[in-house]
Amino acid sequence: MREDHDDTPQRHDPPYHREVYDDWDADLVREEELHGRGLDFGLLLLRLGLLLLLPHGVAKAADMPAFVRQVDANVLGGQAPELFAWMIMIGQVALPVLVAVGLFTRPAGFLVAASLMAIWVLEVALRLDYEPLTSAGGLTGEAALLYAALSLPLAFTGAGRWSLDSMRTGGRP
C-alpha cells in the first residue's frame, strides 16, 4: 500500500448557480440548478414591465405642490404630507429603476409591492363610496394591483442572471 494515498472521501457535488460554491452548506445535498435562458429572459421582461410605473412618479415630481395637497387630503397622509408625498414619488421613480436594472431586486420588488398595496388600500378600499367593480367591469384601482402583482414575484425569485445583482453576488440568486 502506498503511503501518499489519501483515504478521505472527495466531494463531487454538482455546482450551485453558475459554478459558485459556498462552504457554509457543505453538509447539505444540492441539486444543480437547471434553468435555461428562457427563465432569465422572462425575469428581465418582468423587471422591465415595472418601468411602466415610472411616468406616474415623474408626473408627481413635475407638480410636487399639487401632489402634496392631494396627499394632505388623505387621513394618513395628512399627518406629514410632504414626507409621504416624497416617499411615494421616490418609490415610484427610484424603485422601478432599481428593479429594472436588477440592483437590490428582492427588497426593491417587495417595497414596490408593499407601497402599491398601501396606496390601493388608502386610496381605493377605504373610500366610503367603494365599489369593487367599475362600470366597465374592471377592478377598482386595478393598476396599483397589477403593478404589485408584477413586482411581488421578483421579491421571491430575484432578478435572474441578466442583472446587476447577478454580477454583484457572483451569480448567486
Per-residue model confidence as pLDDT tens digits over 20-51: 555 655 555 555 455 667 888 999 999 999 99
**Within a domain: 102:** yes
Range of the domain at 113: 17-168
**Within a domain: 66:** yes
Rounded distance between C-alpha atoms, residue 123 and residue 79, angstroms: 16
Question: Residue 138: what pLDDT?
Answer: 87
DSSP 24: G
The domain tally of the chain equals 1
Question: pTM of the entire structure?
Answer: 0.75
User: 118-124 contacts: CB < 8 A, separation 24 or more?
Assistant: 119/88, 119/144, 120/144, 120/145, 120/148, 122/74, 122/75, 122/76, 122/77, 123/74
**Within a domain: 5:** no
Strands (E) located in the chain:
none
